[in-house]
Amino acid sequence: MALTTASSSRPGTSRPAVSDPALAGSLARLPVELLHAAYRNVIASRLLDTKMLVLLKQGKLFFHIGCSGHEVAQIAVALALKPGYDWAYPYYRDLGFALQFGYTIEEVLLEAMHREGGPSSRGFAMSAHYGRKASRIVAQSSPTGTQYLQAVGTALGASKEGKDEVVYVSSGEGATSEGEFHEAIHWASRAKLPVIFFVQNNKYAISVPVKDQVAGGSVCGIVAGYEGLARHRIDGGDFPALFDIASAAVGRARRGEGPSLIEADTVRLLPHSSSDDQRKYRDAGELENDRLNDPIPRLEKTLVAAGILTDDDIPAIRGEIQQRIDKAAEWVEGQPLPVPDELERHVYSAKVVVPVEGFIEPAHEGAKVVMVDAINHALAEEMERNPKMVIYGEDVAGNKGGVFTATKGLTARFGAERVFNSPLAEASIVGTALGLALRGEYKPVVEIQFGDYIWPGFMQLRNEVAMLRFRSHGDWHCPMVIRVAVGGYIHGGLYHSQSIDGFFTHIPGIRVVFPSQASDAKGLLKTACRCDDPVLFLEHKGLYRQTFAASPEPGPDYLLPFGLAKVRRSGEDVTLVTWGMLVQRSLEAAKKIEESFSASVEVIDLRTLNPLDRESIFASVRKTGKVLIVHEDTLTGGFGAEIAALIAAECFDGLDAPVRRVAARDTPVPYSPPLENAMLPQERDIVEALASLIRF
């Protein structure tokens, strides 16, 4: 069965052009057949809602979230945009928008019935999470509000490219309470980016009424202070007026004059979702009032008055679309479900920058360089090589070059268009980078000033960056580098000392790199800048200028593979697995042990935590029979626990002693030196643990 769009059948093209004043304004300039198609999409959206609720009752789908009451508003706005040229970040209630932007009836049902052939996720994401690459509908997630920053990032790319593309992004009024919405409005207004923020105010966020959500009840009102933002509040049932306003907003965006927010007052004719019963929190009178304000009969009246439709067309079109929907549902039922073999296919890219196999580590002959300068040089070389690489973050631009100087001189060399300051907002940094990266041209390499402050960006990292490829079954991906200064031993206290590797190694979809010395940092960062996956690049602040972490600088062609650990000291009696700052302390401890015992310690520096070089660990443990894992992050749930479990599972027969760990104590990192020293692992802790293993 061929997939056809709801808008592909176009009866009535011979009707007279629009003449009724009800359709005054820019709508009158639209070809009649386009209005017909839009009307058909309105009806398809409504009938699909009803059909999906029937399928739900029949146990053929698990979840439904309705558009009913919103479709007229959505389709009026979609009509003002160019699908496939403009970009769209619709939300879960945007069925009407999705149809107008290119979704077919069959595609809606393929997603709803979690079939393999759906355009957004092929059964990996919930239904109503729209995504369609050919229409530039970016595959959506469930967190309310995250889409806003991504839309801004995509618009940033359009503006950098000098293209007049526009980015549509939407939500209900409830989601505008999320900070990310305001961060997005802020960035777009400041940078005059071509974004249409479309807020569909149906007066409820699940059961929470708008009075408990939005000061004054109007989103338009609460964003009044953003200079450069055009704002419109409009009746969401007034199709011509909405189209007019959307067209004006799109025109303004295309001309580079900045973003617009359109708040449409809509009715929600269904409960929040199929898991909700709105009679629990809305009285019968209110529900009846919504029904009386159903925008579809009103649209039909307007179209009939304008000569676009006749009264007889209406039931005929409905009947025809109903038939198509029923037929499509039957067809979809026969379509294959996704196969479990596909599960891991789109967690990471299949592209590898440098294969581990066959890699021979060269001796570097450059002048000695400290780690922060090696990082700076890696960035400069990659900027030179890739004109679409951009660097941004807090304080990274100009003469400062970041609080640790890692980006020093890069703005002067590559220009403020490519190396620039972001607002002080970590969710903005990560969210916009995602939206920029998924366009396919740009490689954002962003800086998070301190690991301690990555948490506002954690939602974007965990739920968006890490999951985009997976949830879109490989259609969308967002390769980027997130450089983060981490770690303690610098008397930085609770909020300038945190280790974050335990959190991020738990997230499928993000590579985690943690070098311990300058040449590795350079080679790994250059690989990260060419990697097809998102890479969290951890830079230990205490190592930036340490002489023990300095090394001869590798040349510009040097790339170090991910997933290749390094034996930093060979030994026979105990294996010590470590990374980051504790590599040096472990090497010192190993030396001391060898001086006091007739035993040698093999020290393995992992260099990348994801991918993890399991084979090097296992080979060493099989040789020594004893293993100590040393890391700076807190003990409980630290990455050492994962390594210990892997060793227990893989090397049990070869172990002569229990797997041991030295890690930070399970407290925050305190400020005063005696406290900090007690909390973070010290050389003596490693010596003691090694000694006890040797004696075991």
Ligand X SMILES: Cc1ncc(C[n+]2csc(CCOP(=O)(O)OP(=O)(O)O)c2C)c(N)n1
Site for ligand X in 74-103 (CB under 6 A): 93
Beta bridge partners of 234: 264
604 near 568, Cβ under 8 Å?
A: yes
Q: Which stretch binds ligand X (CB under 6 A): 44-52, 197-205, 575-583, 637-645?
A: 197-205
x/- contact string, 560-599, with ligand X (CB under 6 A)? ----------------------------------------
With binding defined as CB under 6 A, does residue 206 bind ligand X? yes
The closest of 632, 623, 613, 642 to 574, measured between CA atoms, is: 623
Active site residue 496: yes
- DSSP track, 573-592: SEEEEE-TTHHHHHHHHHHH
Question: Which residue in 74, 135, 144, 170 binds ligand X (CB under 6 A)?
Answer: 144
3-state secondary structure of 86: strand
Nearer Cβ to ligand X (132/272): 272
Question: Which residue in 7, 68, 104, 202 binds ligand X (CB under 6 A)?
Answer: 202
# residues near ligand X by CB under 6 A: 15
Q: Which stretch binds ligand X (CB under 6 A): 171-179, 245-253, 283-291, 469-477?
A: 171-179
Cα–Cα dist 235/70, whole Å: 11
The closest of 402, 400, 398, 399 to 429, measured between CA atoms, is: 402
With binding defined as CB under 6 A, does residue 611 bind ligand X? no
Cα–Cα dist 496/488, whole Å: 7
Nearer Cβ to ligand X (122/272): 272
Helices (H), 396-500: 410-414, 426-437, 458-459, 468-471
Question: Which residue in 205, 299, 480, 628 binds ligand X (CB under 6 A)?
Answer: 205
DSSP classification of residue 162: T
Q: Give the nearest residue (CB) to ligand X.
A: 172
Nearer Cβ to ligand X (45/527): 45
Q: Token pair of 250, please? A: 């799109």
With binding defined as CB under 6 A, does residue 180 bind ligand X? no
Nearer Cβ to ligand X (67/593): 67
CB of 463 to ligand X, least distance (A): 8
Nearer Cβ to ligand X (175/560): 175
Which residues lie closer than 8 Å to 528 by C-beta, 6 or more apart? 445, 481, 511, 513, 535, 537
95 near 3, Cβ under 8 Å?
A: no
Question: How many C-beta atoms surround the C-beta of residue 479 within 10 A?
Answer: 23
With binding defined as CB under 6 A, does residue 546 bind ligand X? no
CB of 174 to ligand X, least distance (A): 3
Which one-letter amino acid corresponds to residue 459? M
330 near 504, Cβ under 8 Å?
A: no
3-state secondary structure of 391: strand
Which member of 496, 506, 540, 631 is catalytic?
A: 496
With binding defined as CB under 6 A, does residue 272 bind ligand X? yes
With binding defined as CB under 6 A, does residue 204 bind ligand X? yes
Q: Which stretch binds ligand X (CB under 6 A): 29-37, 172-180, 389-397, 449-457?
A: 172-180
What string of H, E and C letters represents the secondary structure of 380-417? HHHHHHCCCEEEEECCCCCCCCCCCCCCCCHHHHHCCC
Site for ligand X in 289-308 (CB under 6 A): none
67 near 45, Cβ under 8 Å?
A: yes
With binding defined as CB under 6 A, does residue 142 bind ligand X? yes
Question: Which residue in 147, 154, 171, 260 binds ligand X (CB under 6 A)?
Answer: 171
With binding defined as CB under 6 A, does residue 222 bind ligand X? no
Q: Which stretch binds ligand X (CB under 6 A): 168-176, 228-236, 535-543, 664-672?
A: 168-176
With binding defined as CB under 6 A, does residue 174 bind ligand X? yes
**Location of structure tokens 């959505």:** 74
Nearer Cβ to ligand X (9/278): 278
With binding defined as CB under 6 A, does residue 143 bind ligand X? yes
Cα–Cα dist 250/255, whole Å: 9
With binding defined as CB under 6 A, does residue 681 bind ligand X? no
With binding defined as CB under 6 A, does residue 172 bind ligand X? yes
With binding defined as CB under 6 A, does residue 510 bind ligand X? no
Using the Cα atoms of residue 577, residue 583, residue 584 and residue 585 in order, give the sign of their dihedral: negative
Cα–Cα dist 1/174, whole Å: 40
Cα–Cα dist 336/169, whole Å: 32
With binding defined as CB under 6 A, does residue 376 bind ligand X? no
Q: Where are the strands (E) in 112-242, listed by range?
A: 167-172, 195-201, 204-205, 208-209, 230-235
Nearer Cβ to ligand X (37/175): 175
Which one-letter amino acid corresponds to residue 396? V
Nearer Cβ to ligand X (161/212): 212
130 near 100, Cβ under 8 Å?
A: no
CB of 148 to ligand X, least distance (A): 11
CB of 430 to ligand X, least distance (A): 15
With binding defined as CB under 6 A, does residue 404 bind ligand X? no
Q: At residue 593, what are phi and psi to the nearest 5 degrees? A: -60, -45
Q: Which stretch binds ligand X (CB under 6 A): 9-17, 153-161, 201-209, 601-609?
A: 201-209
3-state secondary structure of 486: strand
Nearer Cβ to ligand X (175/374): 175
With binding defined as CB under 6 A, does residue 271 bind ligand X? no
With binding defined as CB under 6 A, does residue 175 bind ligand X? yes
Which one-letter amino acid corresponds to residue 451? G
Residues forming contacts to ligand X in the complex (CB under 6 A) are 93, 142-144, 171-175, 200, 202, 204-206, 272
Active site amino acids = 496
